[in-house]
Amino acid sequence: MFTQLDKIEEKFSALEQQLATPELLADPSRYQQVAIARSSLEQTVTLYRQYKKLRGDLEDTQGMLSGEKDASMREFLEEEVRSGKEKLAGLEQRLRLELIPKDPLDGKNTIIEIRAGAGGDEAGLFAADMFRMYCKFAEGKRWKHELLSSSSSGVGGLKEVIFSLHGTSVYSRMKYESGVHRVQRIPVTEAAGRIHTSTVTVAVLPEAEEVDVKIDDKDLRIDIMRSSGPGGQSVNTTDSAVRIVHLPTGMIVTCQDEKSQLKNKARAMMVLRARLLELEREKQAAARSSQRRSQVGTGERSERIRTYNFPQGRCTDHRIGLTLYQLRDIMEGELDPLIEALVTSDQEAKLKDLEVE
């Protein structure tokens, strides 16, 4: 670990020297690239320098302790050594986490697709509840959420809803939500009071820029049609709905929530780029089985990841065996206890992979 940290510090120092050269200052584009590379290493190097200073101070204190005769001074120095070792261990753990390979997409904004699965009307109602839950979570994080597309069911639920989340490191938190979410409760449509089990599928996609995914116009078929559904403000009376078919993959994206054809097209292209980026990531992940093992159930849409049991007020994440009796708070957007546990488990798995390597 320390050999790797020494190399990172050397690279950081070399980048700092580069930033001071007249040649780089004269090339704004290259200067920005070097500045970003330096910034990506700064936190790790700062922690490592703190670690080395603390380790040196601890060695000095231990040297003083070995030659000290005064009882009260020895007691003071022993406490300093104990405290120093605790701080050193904490810094060492933080440095290990710093060495975990960063997901380059963690800083991305996110597109989330929620679809009702098995369970009929109840699945649609729970899809609507989950949409509300994620919106409440986003509000607590001061992220901006924007509805991109939705399809309602006849009882106030949602067959499908697609929305975006914009903010700081959104994907790094939300990526653990991909998968099948199961709900067990008495539906409002159930007259006999029986508990039903339904499912909702969640797909979390990193938002892709045009530079991330190249789409050739000849690979697209774009259809313009009249919006369906209740609409409002001319949404369902004008030819504003847009359906885009990506011919090489067969992917179809439809957006109709806006009365502006241009806005619907822009939103549909945003979703299409995100889906194509995710498709490429899935191909890469399948080719790297060791990396796949280090992930905590991220990206597998067919995997049942969580159960929401309303009669017992219980929420269980099956990937890490965590059960919380805080279902009401969770449905109000208090997802941090779940996500923090998933992040920790993911980090521990990746640390084990590093140790094996």
Q: What is the 3-state secondary structure (H, E, C) of 194-207?
A: CCEEEEEEEEEEEC
Per-residue pLDDT, 227? 62
Better-scored residue on pLDDT, 325 or 189: 325
Per-residue pLDDT, 293? 43
Better-scored residue on pLDDT, 103 or 54: 54
Q: Which CATH class is domain 110-211+294-352?
A: alpha beta
Mean pLDDT of 139-143: 94
| Phi-psi sector, 179: left (phi>0), alpha (psi -120 to 50), beta | left
**Which range has highest mean pLDDT (136-145, 154-163, 208-217)?**
136-145
- Contact (Cβ atoms closer than 8 angstroms) between residue 137 and residue 159: no
Phi, psi angles (nearest 5°) of residue 348: -60, -40
Per-residue pLDDT, 302? 58
Confidence of residue 274 (pLDDT cuts 50, 70, 90): confident
Per-residue pLDDT, 228? 60
Stretch among 167-181, 271-285, 313-327, 339-353 having the lowest mean pLDDT: 271-285
Per-residue pLDDT, 139? 95
313: helix, strand or coil: coil
Q: pLDDT tens, 86-129?
A: 999 989 888 888 887 777 788 888 999 999 998 888 999 999 99
26 burial type by CB count under 10 A (0-12 exposed, 13-18 middle, 19+ buried): exposed
Per-residue pLDDT, 149? 85
Where in the chain are the domains?
Answer: 2-98, 110-211+294-352, 217-283
DSSP 223: E
Q: In what order do the strands lie in the sheet with 322-324?
A: 144-152, 158-166, 110-116, 196-206, 179-185, 304-309, 314-317, 322-324
How far apart are alpha carbons 16 and 73 in whole angstroms?
Answer: 43
What is the architecture, at CATH level 2, of domain 217-283? 2-Layer Sandwich (3.30)
How far apart are alpha carbons 235 and 245 in whole angstroms?
Answer: 22
pTM given for the model: 0.69
Mean pLDDT of 189-215: 82
**Six token digits for residue 88:** 């050193």
Name the residue among 241, 244, 270 with its Cα closest to residue 256: 241
Question: What does R_g of the chain's alpha carbons equal in angstroms?
Answer: 26
Q: Cα separations (Å) of 214 from 95, 218, 247, 269, 274?
A: 37, 12, 14, 11, 11
Strands of the chain (E only): list them: 110-116, 144-152, 158-166, 179-185, 196-206, 220-225, 241-246, 251-255, 304-309, 314-317, 322-324
- Contact (Cβ atoms closer than 8 angstroms) between residue 157 and residue 124: yes
Per-residue pLDDT, 229? 53
* Mean pLDDT for the chain overall: 84
Residue 152 CA to chain centroid, in angstroms? 27
Per-residue pLDDT, 295? 44
Stretch among 140-154, 182-196, 289-303 having the lowest mean pLDDT: 289-303
Better-scored residue on pLDDT, 83 or 224: 83
Per-residue pLDDT, 333? 95
Per-residue pLDDT, 105? 81
Better-scored residue on pLDDT, 232 or 339: 339
Tell how strand 179-185 and strand 304-309 pair up. parallel
Helix axes 28-67, 71-98, angle to 10 degrees: 150
Better-scored residue on pLDDT, 321 or 350: 321
Confidence of residue 315 (pLDDT cuts 50, 70, 90): very high
**Six token digits for residue 214:** 């190249």
| Phi-psi sector, 147: left (phi>0), alpha (psi -120 to 50), beta | beta
